[in-house]
Amino acid sequence: MSTTPKTLIAGNWKMYKTEAEAVELASGLAASLHGNLSADREVLLLPPFTALKAVAETILGRDKMLLGGQNFYPSSEGAFTGEIAPFMLADAGCTHALAGHSERRHVLKESDRFIAQKTAFGLQFGLHMILCIGETLDQRTHGSVENVLKGQLRLGLAEVNKDEVTPEHLSIAYEPVWAIGTGKVAQNEDIIAAHDFIRKTLVDFFPHCGSNLRILYGGSVKADNAGTILRLDNVNGVLVGGASLQVESFAAIATAA
Ligand code: PGA
C-alpha cells in the first residue's frame, strides 16, 4: 500500500536568473530553510538549464532540497537542436521534471500527445514527473473545467505504464491558466472542487495508488495565501512561479503553517 509523499514546495524559476543570481537565490534559500522546514515537507527548485549545475552544487546534499528540470525532449539523445535529454538533466543533478506546464501548452504550442510522450519517457527514465493541467478562463466560463481536467489527465497519462505509477514518481499540478502570473488566485472552493475532482479521476485511473498521488496547486501562490492553500483538502503542495524568485517570499511559502 502506497503512502502520500512529503508535501512538495516547488519553485519554477522559468526564464529568470543568470547563473550567479541563481546561486545567490539557492544559497539564500538553503540558509533560510535550514532547520526551519517541517519534517513533512520538501523543496524542489526548477532553475533554467544554464544554472542547473551551479544550483546542484549549492543545494544537493542539503536535507529535503531537490533539483528539477523545467523541460526536456522525450528521447535518449539525438539530432534535436536546442533540446535537452533526461540523462542530461540527471547528469546535472535533477531528479524531477515538469510536463504540460501551461506556458508550454499555450505559448510553445505543445500538444497533449507530445506531453504524454514526455510524461511517459521521463517516468521510464526514472525522473519524478510533475504533470501540469489546468483550464483557461474561457473554459471555466463555459463550465467545462472538469472536462478539461479529465481530458488533460487522460491524454497526458495515456502512454504511461499504469501499473508502474507510484506516488514516488508522479505528481499532478493543478494550475488554472488564468491564475498563473496574474495575481488572481483561485477561490478556495474552486481549488477544493478541482482537487477533489482530480483525486477521484486519479483513483479511477490508478486504483492501486491514485489516493496517494500528490496534487499540487499553482497560480499566484504567495507568502500570504500559501498557508491557507496548503491546508485545503487534497492539496499536497504548491508550484510557485513569481514568488519563488526571491528568498524571503519563497522561504515564507515553504515554511507557511
Ligand atoms: P505564478 O506561476 O506563481 O507566477 O502564478 C506559477 C507557475 O507558472 O507554475
Distance 135 CA to ligand 1 centre (A): 14
What are the residues whose beta carbons fall under 8 Å from the beta carbon of 39, sequence distance 6 or more? none
How many helices (H) and strands (E) the chain has is answered by: 10, 8
Q: Nearest-5° angle of CA 144, CA 147, CA 148?
A: 85
Please tell me the residue having the least CA distance from ligand 1 atom 6: 241
Helices 112-125 and 145-156: crossing angle in degrees, nearest 10, is 50
- Taking the alpha carbons at both ends of the chain, their separation in whole angstroms is 28
Distance CA 149, CA 131 (A): 11
Q: Which three cell numbers stand for residue 210?
A: 491514485
The boundaries of the domain holding residue 89 are 7-238
For 154-189, write each residue's pLDDT tens digit: 999 999 999 889 999 999 999 999 999 888 889 999
Q: What's the pLDDT at 183?
A: 83
Domain assignment present for residue 202? The answer is yes
Domain assignment present for residue 248? The answer is no
Domain assignment present for residue 2? The answer is no
Cα 124 to Cα 54, 138, 151, 159: the distances in Å are 26, 35, 22, 10
Which amino acid is present at 4?
A: T
11 lines ligand 1 (CB under 6 A): no
Distance CA 106, CA 110 (A): 7
Residue numbers of the chain with a pLDDT score lower than 70: 1-2
Q: Which three cell numbers stand for residue 111?
A: 500538444
Kindly give the number of the ligand 1 atom that is closest to the alpha carbon of 173.
9
Cα 144 to Cα 149, 176, 197, 204: the distances in Å are 9, 12, 13, 20
Domain assignment present for residue 81? The answer is yes
For 101-134, write each residue's pLDDT tens digit: 999 999 999 999 999 999 999 999 999 999 999 9
Distance 242 CA to ligand 1 centre (A): 6
E strands along the chain, which residues?
Answer: 7-12, 41-46, 65-69, 96-99, 128-133, 170-174, 214-218, 237-240
Please tell me the residue having the least CA distance from ligand 1 atom 7: 241
CATH of the domain at 150: 3.20.20.70
Kindly give the number of the ligand 1 atom that is closest to the alpha carbon of 182.
5
Catalytic residues: 101, 175
Distance CA 228, CA 226 (A): 6
Written as one string, the DSSP assignment of 64-78 is TEEEEES---SSSSS
134 lines ligand 1 (CB under 6 A): no
Kindly give the number of the ligand 1 atom that is closest to the alpha carbon of 10.
9
Q: Which three cell numbers stand for residue 141?
A: 466560463
Domain assignment present for residue 252? The answer is no
Distance 119 CA to ligand 1 centre (A): 20
Kindly give the number of the ligand 1 atom that is closest to the alpha carbon of 239.
9
Domain assignment present for residue 23? The answer is yes
Looking at the 3D structure of the chain, how many domains does it have? 1
Task: Using most ligand atoms within 8 A of CB, pick from 102, 104, 106, 220 the residue to mutate for ligand 1.
Answer: 220
Domain assignment present for residue 119? The answer is yes
Domain assignment present for residue 132? The answer is yes
Distance 181 CA to ligand 1 centre (A): 5
CA atoms within 13 A on the CB side of 247: 14
Q: What's the pLDDT at 164?
A: 85
Could you tell me which of 1, 9, 2 has the C-alpha nearest to residue 40?
Answer: 9
241 lines ligand 1 (CB under 6 A): yes
Cβ atoms of 75 and 90 closer than 8 Å: no
176 lines ligand 1 (CB under 6 A): no
Kindly give the number of the ligand 1 atom that is closest to the alpha carbon of 179.
5
Task: Using most ligand atoms within 8 A of CB, pick from 106, 130, 180 the residue to mutate for ligand 1.
Answer: 180
Distance CA 64, CA 94 (A): 13
User: Are β-strands 7-12 and 214-218 bridged in parallel, bridged antiparallel, or unpaired?
Assistant: unpaired
